[in-house]
Amino acid sequence: MDYQFHWNTVFQNMPEMLQGAFVTLHVSVLSMLIGTGIAVLLAVAKMNNLKFFSQIAIAWVEVARNTPALFQIYMAYFGLGAFGIHLSPYVAVLSALIFINAGYLAETFRGGFLSIPKTQYSASKSLGMSTFQAYRYIILPQMFRRVYHPMTNQFVWSILMSSLGILVGMSELSGETQRLQSLSFRTLEFFIVAAVLYYLITKLVLLSSMLISRKLFRGEI
């Protein structure tokens, strides 16, 4: 082994790496938040009797689940150009992640909805709640409790997949690492540090999700 490791450059560039890590974190958080909102609508639409809405929801879910994430990102970044829509790398990756998260979570949520007895809905109706109130106060809280763990996994997946931003020149952790290593050619050192940072971020997310779940579902799980 005649490779000389030089860690100095990496440590000097640590602030920029951490800034990249921050972008990674907030693109995933944003994609989860918006994705969750859309997923609830898709799950409800999929169970809807109106053919039109359920067809759209089914198409969305199946395309999101059965094509590679990289394809979605290319589609958002290069493909939409054909319609005159030119997205920045950040927006392209964000919208691809939203699209995929919504698709995967919709299936999870549908399972969650189906696991809630119909009587819960009729009971809240008979108490004089409107449909919106029944969903807001009775159905959704129970549903989210059941899908909390799959959602955490999806969040971790989003963090890992946001690394594809490297291929469209986004400056999240991977893209930033790529840029920094191209200035110094310490490729190995930079990517080792990036791998460690990703590992730490995912562990941090899992830990905080566990702490939040304790607070949210006290004494229930």
Binding site for another protein (CB under 8 A): 1-3, 62-63, 65-71, 74-75, 78-79, 81-83, 156, 160-161, 163-164, 166-167, 174, 187-188, 191-192, 194-195, 198-199, 202-203
If you search the block for the tokens 């009587």, which residue do you land on? 119
Give the shortest CB-31-to-another protein separation in angstroms: 15
Give the shortest CB-217-to-another protein separation in angstroms: 24
Nearer to another protein, 18 or 195 (CB): 195
Compute the distance between CA of residue 51 and CA of residue 56 in angstroms, rounded to an integer: 9
Residues in Cβ contact with 10 at an 8 Å cutoff, skipping those fewer than 6 apart: 17, 186, 189, 190, 193
The residue type found at 170 is M
**Is the Cβ–Cβ distance between 10 and 170 less than 8 Å?**
no
Give the shortest CB-128-to-another protein separation in angstroms: 37
Nearer to another protein, 135 or 198 (CB): 198
Give the shortest CB-221-to-another protein separation in angstroms: 20
Nearer to another protein, 62 or 130 (CB): 62
Nearer to another protein, 129 or 160 (CB): 160
With the CA atoms of 117, 120, 126 and 131 taken in that order, what torsion angle do they form, in degrees rounded to the nearest 10? -100
Reference 97, options 200, 44, 24; nearest CA is 24
